[in-house]
């Protein structure tokens, strides 16, 4: 599995797991509050079964367990979507996973006061691994599609609020993407650079 981090350090607490590890485990990433979701993948002659969310496991870590919306995107190879987030009071925690294909998933910490403020972290999410990522509010998210078709599923704790959409331009924060000229939407290409983004997020604060 491809894993990189903007801090150049190994993920803090890697290998630690919460309760219910027979179903899945949550592994700390280098950005505080981000967790890789590693489920057990059950496979037989019919196919595969993967459980990506267990309320007990998430609640034991103090993470969100109620989600307002669920949606998915389908992307061709070489597409970058990101780096996205919503501004307060519509900011949200989210879970992302890749049920078809694979992506290089990227997060960027925009929480003032965080030990990883303005640093990024990345890991591969794939249908084969069945893994996902929990992302707290104040952390921007994006990905690069590694396969001809990559499906990304999202669970978010607040509804989509177009007036509070925000983001950071994909090439402005030091991440080395697999393709220097990816396929982008006009909106993503026009997002502000990291240095021009005045963050309203504070590390440790939490909205209801």
pLDDT at 14 over 70: no
Beta bridge partners of 5: 121
Tens-digit pLDDT profile for residues 120-178: 999 999 999 999 999 999 999 999 999 999 999 999 999 999 999 999 999 999 999 99
Q: DSSP letters of the chain?
A: --EEETT-SPPTTTT---S-TTTEEEEE-SSTT-EEEEE-EEEETTEEEE----HHHHHHTT-----SEEEEEEEETTBEEEEEEE-TTS---EEEEEEESEEEEEEEE--BT-TTTT-EEEEEEETTTT-EEEE-TTEEEEEEE-SSEEEEEEEESS---GGGEEE--TTSSS---S-SS-B--HHHHTSPPGGG-----BTT----
Is pLDDT above 90 for 67? yes
Residue 17 pLDDT > 50, yes or no?
Answer: no
Task: Tell me the longest C-alpha to C-alpha distance in the chain.
Answer: 52
Separation of first and last alpha carbons in the chain: 35
Instruction: In whole angstroms, give the CA distance from residue 130 to residue 141.
Output: 19
Mean pLDDT (whole number) for 196-204: 96
Place of tokens 């910490």: 109
Residue 16 has pLDDT above 50, yes or no: no
Mean pLDDT within 40-53: 93
List beta partners, residue 24: 39
pTM above 0.85, yes or no: yes
Chain center to CA of 42: 24
| Residue 8, pLDDT above cutoff 90 | no
Look at residue 177 in the predicted model and tell me its pLDDT.
Answer: 98
* Mean pLDDT (whole number) for 10-32: 64
**pLDDT beyond 70 at 4:** no
Do residues 82 and 167 make contact, with C-beta atoms less than 8 angstroms apart? yes
Where residue 19 falls among pLDDT bands split at 50, 70, 90?
Answer: very low
Q: Which residues are catalytic?
A: 84, 154
Query: What is the average pLDDT score of the chain?
Result: 90
Q: 3-196 belongs to which CATH class?
A: mainly beta
């Amino acid at each position: 599995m491809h894993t990189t981090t903007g801090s150049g350090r190994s993920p803090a607490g890697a290998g630690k797991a919460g309760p219910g590890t027979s179903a899945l485990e949550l592994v700390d990433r280098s950005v505080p509050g981000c967790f890789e979701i590693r489920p057990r993948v059950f496979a037989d002659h019919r196919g595969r079964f993967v459980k990506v969310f267990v309320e007990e496991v998430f609640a034991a870590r103090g993470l969100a367990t109620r989600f307002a919306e669920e949606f998915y995107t389908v992307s061709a190879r070489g597409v970058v979507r990101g780096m996205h987030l919503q501004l307060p009071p519509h900011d949200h925690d989210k879970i992302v996973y890749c049920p078809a294909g694979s992506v290089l998933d990227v997060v960027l910490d925009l929480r003032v006061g965080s030990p990883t403020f303005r640093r990024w972290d990345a890991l591969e999410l794939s249908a084969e691994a069945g893994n996902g990522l929990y992302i707290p509010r104040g952390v921007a998210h994006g990905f690069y599609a590694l396969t001809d078709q990559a499906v990304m599923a999202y669970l978010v704790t607040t509804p989509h609020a177009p007036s509070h959409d925000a983001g950071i331009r994909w090439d402005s924060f030091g991440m080395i993407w697999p393709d220097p000229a990816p396929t982008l939407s006009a909106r993503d290409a026009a997002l502000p650079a990291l240095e021009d983004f005045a963050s309203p997020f504070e590390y440790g604060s939490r909205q209801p």
